[in-house]
Structures are given as structure tokens and as C-alpha cells.
Amino acid sequence: MTNDTLAEIGPRDLILLQARIANPTASSRELSEILKEEYGISLSHNHVNTLLREMETEGLFRKTVVPRRTLFKHYVFRIAFHYPNFRDHWEDCYDTLVEDPHVLMFFNADHKYRWQLITQFRSTEQMDEWVTAFFEDHGEVIDEFETTSVHNLHKFKTDAAIFDDLITETEEGQEYLERRGDLGPDAETDAAENGATEIE
């Protein structure tokens, strides 16, 4: 999804997405009732269903299954490149990491360790064997490789409340949050600074 796509999402749809995240097991009928009671938004459960399907198709959210965190040990890997070999070998290395089932998250960073990964393995021994095999296959593109064990994963989720930051950026969104009773003075000030018109 691009920034342009995000700009096209109205406050009502952001609130629907927020309601879905806050109530992941709710039926479309229950979501319809939540929207009506909390925000004064009238949508049939069929329309709610259609909107959620469209959002998923457009990549606005994904349905994922996250296993119980105690089933796996988690690690952070940081990779710095050996640039003389980068052009010839980065693609194979990249594809391996994207496709590997042990990689939970793979992202670019803006310092020496340009690729960073959050990984999951059943044991430290399994992780060590994976790293050895990875170096055997892709060592020519790696300058440095750093591993950090994540001992306690205290939180791994997106809270529905984060969408308030987006919803307050428009006047319509502020009105919805006022109906819910959650738009305080700080939020109104932030919204005004972001260019939204404050509601009288």
C-alpha cells in the first residue's frame, strides 16, 4: 500500500478497521452495532463485510496467525554487507530470507547493519545450525553478522488505539471521536497542528 492509498481512506473506514482490530472475533453484525453505538455510523452488516474484504484486498490489513510466543525462541539478526560482492549476490540472499519460515520480520535499517531480521527457532542449537548454513550459502555478501537473543517478548501486537492518530487528522474523524467521547484537548491540539480544522 502506498501513501497515496492511505490518503484515500476516509475516517469512517479507519474507524471500521480500528473496530475490527479491537474486536478480532466479532461478527460483521456485532461490528455494525459497535459502529452505531460508539460513533453513530450506520452500516449494515453486509456493507461492513464488503468494506473489510475490500480493505484486505487493497492490502490495508492482513489476517495473520501468531503462535503462542513460548513455542519458539526469538532472535534479532543484523547484517552488514560486503559491498564488493553485493551486486552479484544480494538477490539470492534476499530471496532466501524472505522465503525462510524462521524469519518473522525482515526490514531495512539506515546504519551499518542494513538488513535486520526478527527470527524464531525452537532452540538455540537450531538457530546456530541455521546461521552456519546461511553463511555457507551467502557468506560472500556478508561483512558482519550480529545476533541478539530476545529473552522475554512482552508485547507483539498492534493496538487499535493507534488509529486515533490517523482519525484525528480530519474534521470528520474528530467528530467521530467526539461521539465516542475520547477526543481530549491534547488530541484536538495535535489535530490542529496537523492541518485539520478544530471542531467548535
**Strands 73-81 and 142-150, sheet pairing:** antiparallel
d(CA 36, CA 14): 15
3-class DSSP state of 103:
strand
Residue written as grid cell 459497535: 34
**Phi/psi at 108 (nearest 5 deg)?**
-85, 150
What end-to-end distance do the CA atoms of the chain give, in Å?
34
Domains of the chain: 8-64+164-193 (no CATH), 70-150 (3.30.70.920)
pLDDT of residue 71: 87
Helices (H), 100-163: 124-138
Does residue 62 come out as left (phi exceeding 0), alpha (psi in the -120 to 50 range) or beta?
A: beta
Q: How confident is the model at residue 199 (pLDDT cuts 50, 70, 90)?
A: very low
pLDDT of residue 34: 94
Sign of the alpha-carbon dihedral angle for 37, 40, 44, 50: negative
How many residues are given for the chain? Answer: 200
CB 20 within 8 Å of CB 52: yes
Over 70: is that where the pLDDT of 6 sits? no
Q: What is the pTM for the complete model shown?
A: 0.69
DSSP state, residue 7: H
Within 10 angstroms of residue 163's Cβ, the number of other Cβ atoms is: 20
User: For 8-55, what is each residue's pLDDT tens digit?
Assistant: 788 999 999 999 999 988 999 999 999 999 999 999 999 999 999 998
CB 63 within 8 Å of CB 56: yes
Choice between 89 and 187, residue whose per-residue pLDDT is larger: 89
Choice between 183 and 189, residue whose per-residue pLDDT is larger: 183
User: For 60-111, what is each residue's pLDDT tens digit?
Assistant: 887 777 777 788 999 999 999 999 999 999 999 999 999 999 999 999 998 8
CB 195 within 8 Å of CB 170: no
Partners of 80 in beta bridges? 144
The H-or-E segment that residue 49 falls in is: helix 45-57
